Amino acid sequence: MKQYDAIVIGAGQAGVPLAKKLAKAGKKTALIEKRFVGGTCVNDGCTPTKAMVASAKAAYNAVHSAEIGVTVNSYSVDLKAIKERKDKIVMKSRTGGQSAVESTEGLDLIFGEACFIADKTISVKLNDGGEEELTAELFFINTGASPVIPDIEGLEEAGYLTSTTILDLEEVPQHLLIIGGNYIGLEFGQMFSRFGSKVAILERSERLLPGEDEDIAHELTKILQKENINILCNAQAKSFDKTGYEITAAVERNGKIENISCTHILVATGRKPQTERLGLDKAGVELDDKGFIKVNNKLETNVKGIYALGDVKPGPAFTHISYNDYTIVYRNLFEGENFTTDDRPVPYCMFTDPQLGRIGLSEMEAKKQGINYQVATLPMEHVARAIEVGDTRGIMKAIVDPESKKILGAAILGEQGGEIMSVLQMAMEGGITYDRIRYCVFAHPTYSESLNNLFMSLEK
């Protein structure tokens, strides 16, 4: 049995920097990874999808460039070339991350699958054969999450894609049916529609993005429908039947069954924590009813010295949250700090086009909490920069406290929505009130400059 000071399971966005920091702090550390260094973000999530979103945006620009005086007579989408570009970007990030780990003194990178066999002891099935047993006083679990596959009659036989496997397509699907109308489904739906697929999206709820404000969701729905994406709400796939290359989906919608034909199915119904094969019961680590690892506000499990970081624990499943988990755990353990996850900001951006950037409270949440609030809104068609670049889709929205004048939250649906949202996040972090932003001097003409006008709307 090999003895370490610390063992990190999972080379994701928390695991990699944490393992390197532990080793540099003088801890003999092992980093266990069953697949690729970099986790979901680098290999199956942010990096590859946003590379492909850029290609889809180029196709959209080609179609719409005549609106600003540049006519593109023809263009073609080469999905194989798009995939090759995406793969190069992924490999550069993955190999760079792996090289950084392997060159860190005191850090062993072990490729294999870890499973607890006793308290503070794991067995690792090595990818190249054999097994090793390792033990340590400190454990950090960063094993992430994987797609949930619903139990629908005929789905396995029909064949389906996930957010991982769809990235390897080299031919554009003729007709893509997407089960799930949330962030993953919408990003891929718009992307493949722009590549040339006929796209239909099934959403169980009454509207898209049930976690967002209704006006924001409605605005995005209009944008997607204008791109000829068929959005079916109150809809559930009940069964699938495949004949040759054609798949027929029986869809229940508003109490009635209708048949939809497609050639490909993308399952985008959420993600589940990768805890089933970790043997956490042998370590005494508690899980919640959905299989997530229970942690306190310092990310420690019920077992002292065992921590969980990233998507494997409950809470927001974002790369930046996973990275922040690492900084909280490391600084508390080795720099004498007392950080917690309480009240930390949770910004996020959905990379549809236009982007949806979000921070803080939505109007829906403010209403639910009984908070006294005001709403500032500004359609992007009134934003000078948006008019100049020829893209006025979307809306800016902020929630403020009318007494303290603090910004409580914002949703920016528009070109560069994530960047504009980040400006407001910085204001919130620094305690800058909306009345100061109303009269702030921004460079002209920028998107952020229109925050002047956004908060001017409160004066009416």
Q: Which residues are catalytic?
A: 444
The partner residues of 357 in beta bridges, in order of sequence, read: 349, 412
- The owner of tokens 């980093």 is 31
Q: Which of 457, 448, 141, 146 is nearest to 299 (CA)?
A: 141
> Phi-psi region for residue 124, left (φ > 0), alpha (ψ -120 to 50) or beta?
beta
Give me the half-sphere count of Cα atoms (radius 13 Å) on the Cβ side of residue 217.
19
Q: Which of 459, 377, 433, 404 is nearest to 213 (CA)?
A: 377
Tokens of 302: 């019920």
Instruction: Quote the CA–CA distance of 217 and 397 in Å, as a whole number.
Output: 12
- The owner of tokens 């007392």 is 338
Instruction: Quote the CA–CA distance of 152 and 150 in Å, as a whole number.
Output: 6
Instruction: Quote the CA–CA distance of 297 and 307 in Å, as a whole number.
Output: 11
Helix then strand then coil, % of the chain, to nearest 5: 35, 25, 35
